[in-house]
Structure 1
Amino acid sequence: MPQLDPSPWLAILIFSWLVFLIVIPPKVMAHSFPNEPTPQNTKNLKADNWTWPWH
């Protein structure tokens, strides 16, 4: 049965994993987003209590 012969499929499996592990991660990590987030003003805002008549 030819599908049980591991010689071509093992090479394809190893080569595909080498591509996934070596070639693709640097390309993904080098990607830069066009709109980098800017840090907002980090001052603490005063939280007002609500005075609703619940009773």
Structure 2
Amino acid sequence: MPQLNPLPWFSILFYSWLVFLVILPPKVLAHSFPNEPNPEATEASQPQTWVWPWY
């Protein structure tokens, strides 16, 4: 039965993991984000009270 021969499946598994672990991470990490967060935006703003016009 050919599906019991592990040689072709092992090579496919090995080369696919090689691509995932060696080739793709540098490509993903090379991307830069155009909108870097600035420290002014991290400050919590004070909530404004809402005056209800009816009561």
Name the structure with the higher helix share: 2
- Same fold (TM > 0.5): yes
- 5+ unaligned residues in a row in structure 1: which ranges? 46-55
**TM-score normalised according to structure 2 size:** 0.67
**TM-score normalised according to structure 1 size:** 0.67
- 5+ unaligned residues in a row in structure 2: which ranges? 46-55
The CA RMSD measured in Å over matched residues stands at: 2.0
How many matched pairs? Answer: 44
Structure 1 residue ranges, 4+ long, deviating more than 4 angstroms after superposition:
none
How far apart in 2 are the matches of 1:3 and 1:42?
57
